[in-house]
Structure formats: structure tokens, C-alpha cells
Structure 1
Amino acid sequence: MSTLLTLLDAFDDGTQARSLREHTYRALGDTVVDVGCGSGRAVGELAARGARAIGVDADHDMIEVAIERWPASEFHVGDATALPLDDGSVTGYRADKLLHDLPEPELAVIEARRVLAANGRAVLIGQDWDSYAIDSDDPELTRALLRARADGVPQRWVARGYRNLLLDNGFTDVTVEVRTIVWTDATCLPMLANIGGEGAWLDDQTARARDNRLFLAIPFIVASGTRAG
């Protein structure tokens, strides 16, 4: 869990990631569930905006971290496909970097519809695992590393299907967009280490960061829809 937490913190601390999160908070209303909440940052930020924010995550350790970091917020250990919430009890549903880890992502979207009130809004956020762009002295090795990392993700292409998942499960006014986050400094090295591991490839990326020559770009797909009344 510590490795995952390090990765999440490295990503979430960035200015572009913060801007992306804030963009996803729009139109979620006054009672929001953040599913797959991790360390609880979005829950804390939503609460600071005046919403009743509820965090749910299947990882007990992550929920403990979230409670420690955001003691005034509400967190539950729970399954994305069986949320500990009543029917129609929230005005907003948010799932960020979650559906690619689920065996059946559609079940989470069906559950989102259940817990949302009529005209409530759902937003799904996720990276496109096959579209990472990294500058490297060894592009063939980089391609192989990226492919291996993507192949280790249960649902690596699910973000491309977010729009259809919403349309097929009772959502209207569905919108979809792509927002790309770009790194050119050492803040992304934990993510690059997760892709390439220790060795010459990561050493090259570390040297690029030191020399101001690093480039990593990750496209994030953001889809949202309104629960049909």
C-alpha cells in the first residue's frame, strides 16, 4: 500500500492534477460520494467547498490513511458495486482512476445510478493506458515497458468506453473530453519507476529530470452524465 500511496501523492500534488480534480467537482451538487477515494484528498476538497462528501474505498489501509488525513470527513470501507448508501441518496457520484481495476466496470456504473437522486450527476475519470508518451533514448524499450504496464491492468481500455457505459445504463446529457497532464520535472519519477523499475531506463529518466529534458504526457478521459429521472 505504501508504494501505491507514494504514487497517488506524487500525482495528486501536481498543479495540473489539482486543476483536473477541480474540473470534475462541477455540478455534483451538495451530497457527493467519491468511490475509490484512496487517501481522501477529493473528499477533503469537496467538503471544503461546502458539500457533504463521502469517501468509499475497498482498501482498509487506504481508508485508515484518509481518516487520519481528513478526520472531519466521512469514510467507509466498501465495494464499488455495493455501496453503503441508500437509493437516491446523493446528488453527485465521482470515480477517479477506479474502473480500470474492476472485473466488471459496468456494475459500478449501475450502482452509481442506484445511489444517485433523479437528475444527479456522475463523473468518471481515468487514464488511457495505451496512450502514455515518454521521451527516451531507447524508444523501443520504452514502448515495451509501457505495453507491459498496460497489459497488467485488468481493464486498460475501459476509459475509452466511459461514454457508452453511461449511455447504456440510464444516463443522459453525457459529455466526454480528454485532458492531458504533462510532466517535465522530477515529480513524475515515482510514476516512471512504477513503469520501468530500477535500472538503466529509469537512470536515463532521472538524468533527464536533472537536466531539464524530461517529458511524460498522460491523457485522462473525463465522462459525465445525468441520471435519468
Structure 2
Amino acid sequence: MSNELIKLLDRADAMPAAALLRARTYDLLRLKPGETVVDVGCGAGLAVAELTGRSVTAVGVDVSEEMIDAARQRRPEGDFRIGDACHLPLGDHEVAGYRADKVFHELADPARALAEALRVLAPGGRIVLIGQDWDTIVIDSDQPGLTRTIVHARADLTTNPRAARAYRTLLLDAGFRDVEVEAHVGVFTGETMLAMLTGLAQAAHAAGAITREECDTWTSAQARRAEKDRLFLALPLFVASATRQPIS
């Protein structure tokens, strides 16, 4: 993972719409002051800092040592731990809230991660999942056929590209109750997300789905769109929330 990726995430997180969506996930946790929440896949620790600002105790967990190092450097007062979604460095029923942002599409076994969420959540605790559907990214282009190929080829490189659309089923099957799902669409224009579009095309080329010429032509066209303020990218995002059943 490079510093460039962290910078890209920083730019995306700074967008007003992204900040509003994060705040919505915090609200859905329904935490009381003093309660503890774990942010799984915490990255550089932004959500941990924002949750702490809401007078709760936030623990950030990430599988990437580089991300945890970045979080600790930026926010030395924070509690950041290395761990993955299926092996959280937490005790049984230790937290009142569990949040995972853009994590489950990276998991080969989401059900196992939800079993771990049940282990660390106290009875009545809340879980909130947020993620994008990699198979339905919308990009304006004069080459719609090539664009579809790029989007689907990139989705096929993702461990679980359609995990977000399965949130409701996954949570119900895991035994959570009061499951609700919201659909949001992140709309991006200008140059901010050009690096993401370039990455999609390069990944499709590396996978053999498109030629080098097609990759270069498509990315050049998107760069020209960005320069003229004509770039359009829409990301379908799903937010699922649920409550842990009382222990029987």
C-alpha cells in the first residue's frame, strides 16, 4: 500500500458528501457517551477520531501495519490495533458498537467476520456496515462498451465485489435483528477521482481484459473530461444496520 493511496483516501474522505455519510453511520450506531465501539478497517484513523469526538471510546483495527502506523502517527492519542475482521483483538462482548467501512468486499468469508462481530458485541449492541457495489460503478464515457468491460474486469479482481448488496441477507443469516439497509449514491466530478478511474483501467489491462491501447485511450479521455469539468463517476453505496440479539 502506497502513500499515494492514503492521499487518495484522504481526498475522498474530505468531500462533504463523504463526511455526511460517515456521520450517518455514527448515528446508526446509537452509542451512548462512554460506550465502546470498534472501527474495523480503520485505515488512517479518521472515523476513530470522529467517534471519539462524540464522547465514546473508539478502537481502530486494521489488517495493514502501514495503515496502523499512519493512524498512530496522525493520532497518537488513539487506540489502534493490528487485526483482521475474523480475528479481532477484543474480548467477548466488549463493545457496544461495531462499524466496518468498505471492508466486506475484501473478505472471502463474510459470515465468519459476522460471527466474530457477534462475539465482540454486547447484547443489544449495534452493527453498521457500509460499502460500495463494485459491479455497478457508473462512469460517463463516449465508449460505454469499453467502460463496462473495465468496470466488470475490476470487479472480478475483488474478493467479494457484490458483498454490499448482500448485507441484509448476511446479517439476517448471522442472527442479527432489526436489519435495515439504506442506499446512497456518491457522485464525483472533476479531478479528485481521476486516479481511481485510471486505476480501474490499469487493473483491467493487467488482467488481460483490455489492450494497452484501449487502456491509454480510455484514461486519456477521462483526463480530458476532468480538465473540462466533464468527468462523472457515481458509486452505489449501501449502509446496513442491525442489532445483536440478546444472549439466550
The corresponding residue for 1:9 is 10
The corresponding residue for 1:85 is 90
Q: Post-superposition shift, 1:6?
A: 3.3
> Which 4+ runs in 1 deviate beyond 6 A?
none
The corresponding residue for 1:26 is 27
| 3-state SS of paired residue (1:120) | strand
The corresponding residue for 1:210 is 227
Paired residue type of 1:186: E
The corresponding residue for 2:245 is 228
Q: Post-superposition shift, 1:202?
A: 1.5
Q: Post-superposition shift, 1:111?
A: 0.7
- Could you tell me how far apart the structure 1 residues matched to 2:238 and 2:88 are? 24
Give me the CA root mean square deviation.
1.2
The unaligned stretches of length 5 or more in structure 2 are 203-214
| 3-state SS of paired residue (1:26) | helix
Judge conservation of contact 1:132–1:216 (CA < 8 Å) in 2: yes
Find the structure with the greater CA-based Rg.
Answer: 2
Q: Post-superposition shift, 1:27?
A: 4.1
- Could you tell me how far apart the structure 2 residues matched to 1:103 and 1:27 are? 26
Alignment partner of 1:178 is 2:183: yes
Paired residue type of 1:222: V
| 3-state SS of paired residue (2:134) | coil
Task: Provide the TM-score with structure 2 as the length reference.
Answer: 0.89
Q: Post-superposition shift, 1:149?
A: 0.5
- Could you tell me how far apart the structure 1 residues matched to 2:133 and 2:102 are? 10
Q: Post-superposition shift, 1:105?
A: 1.0
Alignment partner of 1:153 is 2:170: no
Task: Provide the TM-score with structure 1 as the length reference.
Answer: 0.96
Paired residue type of 2:107: L
Q: Post-superposition shift, 1:166?
A: 0.9
Q: How does 1:123-202 map to 2 (within 5 A)?
A: 123-197=128-202, 199-202=216-219
Q: Report how many aligned residue pairs link the two structures.
A: 229
The corresponding residue for 1:35 is 40
- Could you tell me how far apart the structure 2 residues matched to 1:6 and 1:153 are? 21
The corresponding residue for 2:105 is 100
